[in-house]
Structure 1
Amino acid sequence: MVKPKVLATHRLFDPARRILEENCDAEYWEKPERPPREEVLRRLKDKEALICLLTEKVNDELLQAAPKLKITANVAVGFDNIDVAACTKRGVIATNTPGVLDETTADFAWTLLMAVARRLGEGDALARSGNWKGWDLDQLVGTDVWGKTLGIVGFGRIGKAMARRASGFRMKVIYTDAVRAAAEAEQELRAEYRDMHALLAESDFISIHTPLLPETRGLFDAAKFERMKRTAFLVNTSRGPVVEEAALVTALESEKIAGAALDVFEKEPAIHPGLNRRNVVLAPHIASASLETRTKMACMAAENVIAAFEGRRPANILNPEVLKG
């Protein structure tokens, strides 16, 4: 029996490789640097499945270069790198990996929030510099988190996980979303709905958890920063283009907001040089980067591929209409 051919644009974790290799003829990009585009297109010519990361654009160019492709499995919950409509047009299944990274991402959003509030980056740099002179009363004084107001933009699974964590800090939780949560969820999480303008005006910390959609691209622009408190902090672990970095830099330079903590960037891996500031915490897109979670994500992508080859509906299909008929 001839096994279906799969290309993974990353070496993946061993449990995911075992899932693939039991059922497929799997080929991996083993080098630490990202594969060149032309190399991906060349290797896809005879492949029936692609397991990819957010760094690979699955568009008409790629689909045309892969005439045998049946499924593209994204190892991420976001899928703004995939032209789902183009996949559907060509009968290619598209999948992602939702759910398994919610708690880990919420953990890291809280890590960023705490770090920027308490000036951890500055403190770490001082402690390592050899220039620390010892304890002082007003040295690197930051901002309390306990008892403050947390504004959550995007109240899906990760946004709700943020709200659950906020209860331990006795925070007031407010949120905004295109669809208001059920009353039961609001009551359980002690979260109050606000429109965007009210949320911006009330929040001491704003944490973004919205997907990248046409209507959310550039959502946080100069006008939004104008409405925030001067003492407020912005945290983004969603998608970089949700925030206009130039507008954010201007807001920071003019002290319209107190600081920011970012795990994602508008033009990754490039980062606006104006964000290299003492009151900004920067991380290299690692919110879901625990070994347990990233392994689960890779395994989920592999299982989506196997399901497609076995004629089953992948659990995380983005375009189920390709299976009709």
Structure 2
Amino acid sequence: MTMLIVFHGENAGSFSQGFSDLLALGADVVTLPDALSSEADRETYAAADVIVGTRYDATLPRPSALSLFHVPGAGYDAVDLSALPASAVVCNCFGHEQAIAEYVMAALLARHVPLTDADQRLRAGDWKYWAGALDRTHEELAGKTIGLLGFGHIGKAIAARAKAFEMTVHVANRSSVAPSALVDRSFTLDNLDGFWGTVDFIVVSVPLTAETTGIVGADAFAAMRRSAVVFNVGRGPTIDEAALHDALASKRIAGAVIDTWYRYPKPGETDVQPSRLPFNDLPNVVMTPHMSGWTNGTISRRQRTIAANVARRAKGEPCVNIVGTGGS
């Protein structure tokens, strides 16, 4: 029988184009909308051998013969493993760390090398940054300290690039990280009081769990340097929403670059603010719409991971990046 592979939703559907070309086996590849409003769509979903999707719960049809549920990203907190059939292996994929590391470095460089402002000023005849006088200097990254809250795929990719810019790297992670060519100092998550005040920049990339929800809160902001800049490229609620707004509004910290948020548009919604609080009124925050890892390179790398796992499952071989099984 021909394998039925279903890409469910707009996000997952982004990985369907050209996917058949990566498979060395016969398969029907179908893309379904986020809302399975028709009976035909629900029947197709229920008949799938493989589902690529970002969420699963009991409101969706039960795919009783499902062999593989593959999240096309790292986060699988919206997948209810216990609701899936026991036959299903559940996997995730990465491949976004290169793009996210470039996003972080771009934001850091933008704060230190004022190319846009220099260009706009010089077009008007203003030589503000001209070399030769102390009052016209600008900052550089070399010698600054970056703190990485989370040292998985993303943290390691950022550390490698930060070291290329001669930065000092501090890491806070669930388990201790030995000093290395990438890490100058490490902390564990139960010793964060000593971490916050040691760095110029804090990049949050921990996954969202009960342990990490609100891990960056009012106490953390109070312990940070006033010159600190916080980045969130992990999950929004790992930083306490109100505490972050208060720290920025009161200028307790210098700024933030936030890519992952507290509210997201539902299908069909437009003009949705990413928080119940008016971050858009604050001048010291850079707001981006969960875009840091969304590149052509990320899609290509993740497609290859998903296709390889489909092939492994079809051959009865172990998959990579298994996060659980159905019925667990």
Interval containing the TM-score (normalised by the shorter chain): 0.7 to 0.9
Shift of 1:271: 0.9
Superposition CA RMSD, Å: 3.1
State the partner residue of 2:289: 284
State the partner residue of 2:175: 179
State the partner residue of 1:234: 230
Shift of 1:198: 1.7
Do the aligned residues in 1 keep the contact of 2:89 with 2:326 (CA within 8 Å)? Answer: no
Residue correspondence of structure 1 range 215-254 to structure 2 within 5 A:
215-254=211-250
Aligned match for 1:61, one of 59, 62, 73: 59
State the partner residue of 2:278: 274
1:293 has 2:284 as partner = no
Change (3 A) 1:142 1:256: farther
State the partner residue of 2:3: 4
Do the aligned residues in 2 keep the contact of 1:41 with 1:65 (CA within 8 Å)? Answer: no
Structure ranking higher in helix proportion: 1
Partner SS, residue 188 of structure 1: coil
Shift of 1:305: 2.4
Change (3 A) 1:92 1:165: same
Residue correspondence of structure 1 range 128-147 to structure 2 within 5 A:
133-135=124-126, 137=128, 144-147=140-143
Change (3 A) 1:41 1:140: farther
Change (3 A) 1:46 1:157: closer
Change (3 A) 1:240 1:37: farther
Aligned match for 2:308, one of 282, 291, 303: 303
State percent identity of aligned pairs: 25
Shift of 1:41: 4.5
**What is the alpha-carbon distance in structure 1 between the residues aligned to residue 88 and residue 59 of structure 2?**
14
**What is the alpha-carbon distance in structure 2 between the residues aligned to residue 92 and residue 320 of structure 1?**
6
**TM-score where L is the length of structure 1:** 0.82
Change (3 A) 1:42 1:250: farther
Shift of 1:221: 1.7
Do the aligned residues in 2 keep the contact of 1:8 with 1:26 (CA within 8 Å)? Answer: yes
Give the length in aligned residue pairs. Answer: 305
Letter in 1 for 2:186: Y
Aligned match for 1:188, one of 174, 181, 191: 181
**What is the alpha-carbon distance in structure 2 between the residues aligned to residue 228 and residue 6 of structure 1?**
48
Letter in 1 for 2:161: R
Q: Which runs of 5+ in 1 are unaligned?
A: none
Letter in 1 for 2:109: M
State the partner residue of 2:146: 150
Change (3 A) 1:320 1:37: closer
Letter in 2 for 1:212: L
Shift of 1:211: 1.3
Q: Which runs of 5+ in 2 are unaligned?
A: 130-134, 266-272
**What is the alpha-carbon distance in structure 2 between the residues aligned to residue 213 and residue 140 of structure 1?**
46
Change (3 A) 1:203 1:210: same
Shift of 1:27: 0.5
**TM-score where L is the length of structure 2:** 0.81
**What is the alpha-carbon distance in structure 2 between the residues aligned to residue 198 and residue 291 of structure 1?**
39
Shift of 1:105: 2.0
